[in-house]
Amino acid sequence: MSIKVNYNNMMSTVIGDKGITESEYASYAKFAKAAHAKVEEGRGNAMQGWMDSPYNQSDVVKRIKATAARIRKSCDYFVVLGIGGSALGPIAVFTALKHLYYNDLPKRVRKGPKFYVLDNVDPERMNALFDVIDVEKTVFNVITKSGATGETMSQYLIVMDMLTKRLGDKAKDHIIATTSEFKGNLIKLAQKEGFETFYIPEGVGGRFSELSPVGLLPAAVVGINISELLKGARDMDKKCKKGDLWRNPALAIATLQYISIKSGKNIGVIMPYADSLKYIADWYAQLWAESLGKEVDNDGNTVNVGQTPVKALGVTDQHSQVQLYNEGPYDKVIAFIEVGGFRSDVTIPDGCKEFPDVNFLCGHSLGELMNSELFATRYTLTQYHRANYTIYLDTVDEYHIGALLYLMQLQTAYAGAMLNIDAYNQPGVEGGKNATYALFGRQGYEAKAEEIRSAKPDDEKYII
């Protein structure tokens, strides 16, 4: 396993009184071990079915690979309809592992369909998609566990109407449903219409679903080796089997973040230094925010806990955010993701000899420049006594991405156990959903609609 976590710059020996002393860190060993045991105790149960994902999918992986091979031969476009984890996971893995201009490559190079994820209900974006695809040459993967996700199902209704008008009974051949096997609207529709269907395990929630058919099918369609994704996750799981604070990287990160939250560092920045990992930061932001941001704990106490995730990209955001990180409030932990070797590189040619402040770059590579800027940013933050740690990957490939995703999922689960909250529910999200349903007159939401109608109107004096 060539993923390492370096947390030297979290410690007081490096950043002084803004850091964590070794004795303080060591004092959490029993606490961390208990959190690890709690997570292990729940393995495979309730909403911790995601922990079994690296192990129990051999049959479905075979079927996914067969379906993906057929799609690559038969269609020119593959579109995911989803939102939240159903969209962020496929986007993150696709961007990490495929050519950064994949859709612009000729098909003989891509060897697969163009790939799009429709993860919002902006009408302009929906219409823009139809301007660049031919729906008769497209397979749409509708992903929603409940089949009641308003955004995804509105997309489905639009797409299905268009397909039916053009293709009649053959419309069903252009839809794949990824949903619950046992309940919800989409499985009923799939059975009625005859859609090909893949199942989301009952114990796997959206933000923990990328290593299930939710993410595996889109990945396989674009030619990603999903067996290696799962192998990386398995090996990371094995590395984190023991509740040893000094040996388990996910447990170490969770504990460091827990201590940081308790000391007022309520912002967690995730900053990969590779364009390929840009959307891993987006995926992580949802995982961390929705899992840990909770009003009440497991004992019913009002706690209002959580750490706000902020996504940044090196080196781009050195020129937009790092000024704040260096000189602003001491309320952040910055997590870097460093890549040891890029899959390709570019040498900076000789030139501009009359400008020494440009010519010094010549003969070096962009990969060198990227990682030197990471080193410089990390060094400067440390000089400013800012807490930071680094997740290091040898390279970006299926194996390492599978391991990274699983590391982050375990980190989140451990942190949830430490905070004594339910890391798998999302009542704060449901409130917004319910209000939307009421606004559209959905049956059963009449009381919420009346509550909204009775709300105090905006005061005109505060509108200018």
Q: Which residues are catalytic?
A: 290, 319, 433
Our measurement of the distance from residue 380's CA atom to the centroid of its chain's CA atoms, rounded to an integer in Å, reads 28
DSSP letters spanning 91-109: HHHHHHHS-TTGGGS-HHH
Give the amino acid at 378: R
What count of other Cβ atoms lies within 10 Å of the Cβ of residue 147?
20
Taking the C-alpha atoms of residue 222 and residue 73, their distance in angstroms, rounded to an integer, is 11
Taking the C-alpha atoms of residue 215 and residue 278, their distance in angstroms, rounded to an integer, is 17
CB 415 within 8 A of CB 254: yes
CB 414 within 8 A of CB 45: no
3 beta partners: 393
Counting Cα atoms < 13 Å in the Cβ hemisphere of 1 gives 23
CB 115 within 8 A of CB 72: no
278 to 4, 191, 273, 423: CA distances (angstroms): 19, 37, 8, 24
Beta strands in 138-260 (DSSP E): 138-143, 175-179, 196-199
Torsion angle in degrees (nearest 10) through CA of 99, 105, 109, 115: 70
- Give SS3 for 205: coil
List phi, psi (to 5°) of 353.
Answer: -65, -25
Task: Give the closest residue to 309 by CA, choosing from 292, 328, 330.
Answer: 292
Percent helix, strand, coil in the chain, to 5, is: 55, 15, 30
